[in-house]
Amino acid sequence: MMKIGTFQELFDTAQSENKKIYEIAQQNESENTEISVESIREKVKQNLNAMKAAIKLGLESKEKSISGLCGDDCAKLLERYKSGNSLFSKPYQKVLTYAFATIEQNLRMGKIVACPTAGSCGIVPAVIIAVAESIGACEETEINALITAGVIGQIVSNKLALAGAVAGCQSECGVASAMAAAALVEMYNGSNEQILSAAALTLKNIMGLVCDPVAGLVEVPCVKRNGFLAIYAVTGAELAMAGIKSVIPIDEIVDAMKQVGEMMSPQLKESSEGGLATTKTGLKISAELAEKWKQIN
| pLDDT in 10s for each residue of the chain, 297 residues | 568 999 999 999 999 999 999 999 999 999 999 999 999 999 999 999 999 999 999 999 999 999 999 999 999 999 999 998 899 999 999 999 999 999 999 999 999 999 999 999 999 999 999 999 999 999 999 999 999 999 999 999 999 999 999 999 999 999 999 999 999 999 999 999 999 999 999 999 999 999 999 999 999 999 999 999 999 999 999 999 999 999 999 999 999 999 999 999 999 999 999 999 999 999 999 999 999 989 887
**Residue 92: burial class (beta carbons within 10 Å; 0-12, 13-18, 19+):** middle
Predicted confidence at residue 3, as pLDDT, reads: 80
Range of 202's domain? 42-296
- CATH classification at residue 259: 1.10.4100
In a domain, 259, yes or no: yes
Tell me how many domains the chain contains: 1
In a domain, 47, yes or no: yes
Predicted confidence at residue 296, as pLDDT, reads: 84
In a domain, 260, yes or no: yes
Predicted confidence at residue 1, as pLDDT, reads: 53
**Residue 95: burial class (beta carbons within 10 Å; 0-12, 13-18, 19+):** buried
CB 85 within 8 A of CB 62: no
In a domain, 9, yes or no: no
Predicted confidence at residue 128, as pLDDT, reads: 98
Predicted confidence at residue 109, as pLDDT, reads: 95
